[in-house]
Amino acid sequence: MNRPWPELDYLSWRETCSALHLYLQIAGKYRLAQTPWLNHSWHATFYVTPRGLTSSPIPDGSGIEILFDFHDHRVLGMNGEGAVSSFALEPMTVSAFHAAFLQLVTALGGTPVFNGQPNEVPYPIPFAEDDRERPYDGAAVHCFHQGLIAIDRVFKQFRTGFLGKSSPVHLFWGSFDLAVTRFSGRRATRHRGGIPALPDSVAQEAYDREVSSAGFWPGGGGLDYPAFYAYAYPTPGGYRAAAVQPEGAFWHEPLGEFILPYEAVQSSADPDAALLSFLTSTYEAAAELGRWDREGLDCDHGEPGRVRPADPHLPEAASQPSAPENLSNESDVMREDGPAKGRYRLILDGVEAEMTYSRAGEGLIIIDHTEVPAALRGRKVGERLVRRAVEDARRDGIALIPLCPFAKAQIDRHPEWQDVLRRS
């Protein structure tokens, strides 16, 4: 049974929240500097664990993992040789945290070299120069973590209902949000950039594909309360007027996103179901209005221990699709020959493939086109059509010119067929 969702009051811990945001940026920028780029900045994020937030292994030294432990309120570093280093999360300055983090990475055999400027925050001050004292409210951080555990659970359940490309459920330290994103599979229009303290190149790479994205903010950035959000990029026509669930969700015009206050979920009779309805209804609005291929992308939500049913629309596999005896026997390839044009055709499982040709004189045939439907791909149907044409050419004593790129590629791969080519 799921535990009750905690109450979260952003205004009561916003100074601690702001400090934690900057601390995660320091650790995140270290991971960013050491890890090869993965699409849409997925290589730089953090993940929710039962104890807090983890970087996962960072390829530096023998391998280093950074854990923000919100039970014991410490930052832990571990390396591949078994060494552990840590320091306390407590009231301090950002510059003090930065110095302690550099020392931790050095102790683990890593290279603590990374960009020292915050991103996506107003009036950024370099970490090493931020000497303002920051509070640390351990009880509020613990409640925040308990909320993240619940949200992470529902986000992951939502993620199981999609067959297309989908992001992990991960926390972006730039905007300090836990997010999950679905992709239509199509390219998007180029993002205009202009996000404060974020390079345009990063924003443009992040949004170079059509997305429907949802996430959670603890507060800040124009909201004085924790909230869930959902948006589509590019925004399809009519999206902001879409009917979304549950009651309490609304379109926030300045942000250009749907917003659902955390309190509306936390106080509902079934918080998991309330959040899932928000995630589902905002995705459906984006996918329907954006004309996504929902039949090919959507599926039922997963259940523990139950294999997802196979796609009922897949064609049945041939009993022996690649048996050598079937490949050499071309008797099922039919030929329709005319005075000027003709074609070879093969029907499998009710689906027809063809290869057409034209006559160019008494002893010359030009293969001009091959068409193999997608349902027959991978069954060497095109190869069988070309093989039959080669055998007929030998029997009839004529030459072939494969103008069709597919036929030419097949003959190029089979030197034993090239005796039928026209010699210049």
Q: What is the pLDDT along the chain (424 residues), one digit of tens a residue?
A: 678 899 999 999 999 999 999 999 999 999 999 999 999 999 999 999 999 999 999 999 999 999 999 999 999 999 999 999 999 999 999 999 999 999 999 999 999 999 999 999 988 999 999 999 999 999 999 999 999 999 999 999 999 999 999 999 999 999 999 999 999 999 999 998 888 778 999 999 999 999 999 999 999 988 999 999 999 999 999 999 999 999 999 999 999 999 999 999 999 999 999 999 999 999 999 999 999 999 899 999 999 999 988 887 777 665 444 443 343 344 489 999 988 999 999 998 888 999 999 998 888 999 999 998 888 877 888 899 999 999 999 998 999 999 998 898 889 888 889 999 987 6
Strand boundaries in 141-238, DSSP class E: 170-172, 177-187, 209-217, 227-233
Q: How far apart are CA 184 and CA 293, in angstroms?
A: 7
Q: How far apart are CA 158 and CA 241, in angstroms?
A: 23
The residues, ordered by sequence, that sit 6+ positions from 86 with a Cβ below 8 Å of its Cβ are: 74, 75, 76, 77, 104
- The per-residue pLDDT for 237 is 95
Phi, psi of 110, rounded to the nearest 5 degrees: -95, 180
Neighbours of 376 (CB within 10 A): 21
Instruction: Provide the b/e sequence for 49-80 (b: ≥16 CB within 10 Å).
Output: bebbbbbbbbebbeebbbbbbbeeebbbbbbe
Global pTM value: 0.75
Phi, psi of 80, rounded to the nearest 5 degrees: -70, -10
Output helix, strand, coil percentages for the chain, rounded to the nearest 5: 35, 25, 40
By DSSP bridging, strand 364-371 and strand 399-402 are parallel
- Check if the beta carbon of residue 299 is closer than 8 Å to that of residue 280: no
The residues, ordered by sequence, that sit 6+ positions from 245 with a Cβ below 8 Å of its Cβ are: 277, 278, 280, 281
Task: At 171, list the tokens.
Answer: 């926390």
Q: How long, in residues, is the chain?
A: 424
How far does Cα 421 stand from its chain's mean position?
Answer: 48
